[in-house]
Amino acid sequence: MDEIREILPKLQETIRQKDWRTANAMVADLHPPDALELILEMDTSERVIVFRLLKKQTAAEVFTDLPPDQQQILLELFTEKQTAELLEEMDPDDRAEVLDELPAGVVKELLKAISPAEREMTAKLLGYPEGSAGRIMTPEFLEVRPNMTAAEAIQYVRRVGPNKELIYICYVISPHRKLKGTISLRELLFAPPESKVSDIMTPNPIRVYTHDDQEEPANAAVKYDLLAVPVVDTEERLVGVITIDDLTDVLAEEASEDVYRMAGMEELSESYFNTRAGTLFQRRVIWLLLLMVAQTISGGILKYHEASLSAVVALVFFLPMLAGSAGNTATQSAVLVIRGLAVGEIDLRALWRVILRESGIGIALGVILGLVGGIIAYFFGNDPRLFVAVSIAFMLSIFTANIVGAVLPMLFKRLGFDPAITSGPAITTILDITSLTIYFAVAQAVFNLSTA
């Protein structure tokens, strides 16, 4: 970051002076993400020049990571040759990602610029739904036959490797293209040259299917320490591999997505400062209004019990404490289940096991919080009935909150929604309603009140 801030003014000055040699030296060794940061700080005409100065591979990577609207502006300014070179240089999965965000007309023009083989590969990837394993795989991998020797396989890697994104893992396939095993370049290098691939390969490798969610290969890579995850079609034929660099991006993206959803908002496609304030406002206001309108139910419950509230004003004092504690309890159990679902430890068949566990924990939490709440209430109001009412209301509310928090994410998962949205704001709003209902039912019994 700091380095970029230093380079920027010097580079801009060099470009103004048309000193291409010096400018070239300044950007030649930049890592792609640093070049991207630099370019984001420049105006369009400077960008076009810098793209010409960058190494081809760096230029392709930087371009891939630019926001789509800025890609489009640049494409209009690039020469046809420059565009073709840029697209040819990209890995097929990156190319699919870029083309996916651009208008259909532009894409059609661009596809004409690249070779038919590359075009076909890209079109195939674009056929898989966004967020699926098929969409982020590369169809360029190294495949070897089980009856090859280690020496033959190494020769093959040396011959074909330069065009492949990944050369450290070879995939062993049958004549019908079924995935039989994997073998690493490491194993090939250190095995006796005459040994058979089928003898040294890892058989029955971890794989995912083209239509699997992209989280599946990402979780598999973490669990099994893989450099790449092979992707097969429904007939178990190998059609691509996803490399670890794309999978770490998925992990980072999914982590952000979960966190944003837990806070009741949609994730951002750009970073915080790169997102316009108006966009931030829009992403947030819908959820806030929705939750606010849901809270009118709480208002309705309170209005319904207006007479009770007038009779025992002290009941109001413990509303924030009760609703807050119930919301916090539910948030905790929801997050436990959400994480369990995300890493695959909890599945829907475990519903009763989860309910049983959280019932036990809910009782324990309810008793502790109920007693403490009751004591606080007693000292506030100096009325033993407050101790009884608040204690019982807390116990029941906390127990309910704990179960609702655990069950709601599973219900959402079952209905095909992201369980993460149940946590935080959504669940606290629901718990406000259940806690108030419980509270007034208990208070009316203890204080012998009747509804309006």
Window 90 to 129, contacts with a second copy (CB under 8 A) = none
Interaction between residue 138 and a second copy (CB under 8 A): no
Per CB under 8 A, the list member of 256, 269, 382, 451 interacting with a second copy is 256
In the block, residue with structure tokens 């056929």: 127
What would the two tokens of residue 399 be?
């127990």
Q: Which of residues 298-317 bind a second copy (CB under 8 A)?
A: 298-299, 302-303, 306, 309-310, 313-314, 316-317
Q: Kindly tell me which of 103 and 344 has the beta carbon lying closer to a second copy.
A: 344
Tokens 């009884």 map to which residue? 388
- Judged by CB, which is closer to a second copy: 68, or 324? 324
- Cβ closest to a second copy, residue 16 vs residue 31: 31
Q: Using alpha carbons, select from 348, 365, 437 the residue that is nearest to residue 403.
A: 365
CA–CA separation, 370 and 392 (whole Å): 6
Q: Minimum distance between the CB of residue 19 and a second copy, rounded to whole angstroms?
A: 22
CA distance linking residue 393 with residue 374, whole number of Å: 9
- State the Cα–Cα distance between residues 122 and 303, nearest whole angstrom: 61
Window 268-297: residues binding a second copy (CB under 8 A): 268, 271-273, 277, 280-281, 284-285, 287-289, 291-293, 295-296
Give the C-alpha distances (Å, rounded to integers) separating 297 from 291, 292, 325, 428, 432.
10, 10, 19, 13, 9
180 phi and psi angles, rounded to 5 deg = -100, -30
Using CB under 8 A as the binding rule, the residues of this chain from 19 to 48 that contact a second copy are 29, 31-33
Residue 348 in contact with a second copy, rule: CB under 8 A: no
376 forms part of the interface with a second copy (CB under 8 A): yes
Span from 83-91, 127-135, 140-148, 240-248 in contact with a second copy (CB under 8 A): 240-248
Check binding of 319 to a second copy (CB under 8 A): yes
Helix (H, G, I), strand (E, B) or coil at 125: helix
Which of 115, 204, 269, 382: binder of a second copy (CB under 8 A)?
204
Neighbours of 399 (CB within 10 A): 24
Cβ distance 98 to 111 under 8 Å? no
Q: Residue 73 has which token pair?
A: 């502006």
Part in contact with a second copy (CB under 8 A); list of ranges 12-20, 96-104, 111-119, 422-430: 422-430
In this chain, which of 7, 62, 208, 369 binds a second copy, going by CB under 8 A? 369
Q: Which of 343, 348, 445, 452 binds a second copy (CB under 8 A)?
A: 343
Maximum C-alpha span of the chain: 92
Residue 339 sits in the site that holds a second copy (CB under 8 A): yes
436 binds a second copy (CB under 8 A): yes
Q: Is 447 in the site for a second copy (CB under 8 A)?
A: no
189 touches a second copy by CB under 8 A: yes
Report, in this order, helix, strand and coil percent for the chain, each rounded to 5: 70, 10, 20
Find the binder of a second copy among 161, 177, 198, 378 (CB under 8 A).
161
244 lies in the binding site for a second copy (CB under 8 A) = yes
Q: How far is the CB of 166 from a second copy (least distance, A)?
A: 9
151 binds a second copy (CB under 8 A): no
Binding-site member from 9, 67, 127, 203 for a second copy (CB under 8 A)? 203
Binding of a second copy at residue 445 (CB under 8 A)?
no
Least separation in angstroms between CB 120 and a second copy: 25
Q: Closer to a second copy at the Cβ: 75 or 226?
A: 226
Which span sits near a second copy by CB under 8 A: 91-99, 110-118, 234-242, 251-259?
251-259
Q: Which of residues 401-420 bind a second copy (CB under 8 A)?
A: none
| Under rule CB under 8 A, residue 397 binds a second copy | no
10 sits near a second copy (criterion: CB under 8 A): no
Count of residues that interact with a second copy, criterion CB under 8 A: 112
What's the burial of 309, exposed, middle or buried (CB within 10 Å: 0-12/13-18/19+)? middle
Least distance to a second copy from the beta carbon of 91, Å? Answer: 11
Structure token pair of residue 27 = 């950007």
CA distance 327 to 241: 43
Cβ neighbours of residue 16 under 8 Å, at least 6 residues apart? Answer: none
Dihedral angle sign, alpha carbons of residues 51, 57, 58, 63 = positive
State how far the Cα of 130 lies from the Cα of 142, in Å rounded to an integer: 25
Q: Does 155 bind a second copy (CB under 8 A)?
A: no
Dihedral sign from CA coordinates of 366, 367, 372, 376: positive
C-alpha 170 chain-centroid distance? 29
DSSP-derived pairing of the beta strands 228-232 and 238-243 = antiparallel
Q: Which distant-in-sequence residues (6+ apart) come within 8 Å of 261 by Cβ?
A: 267, 418, 420, 421, 423
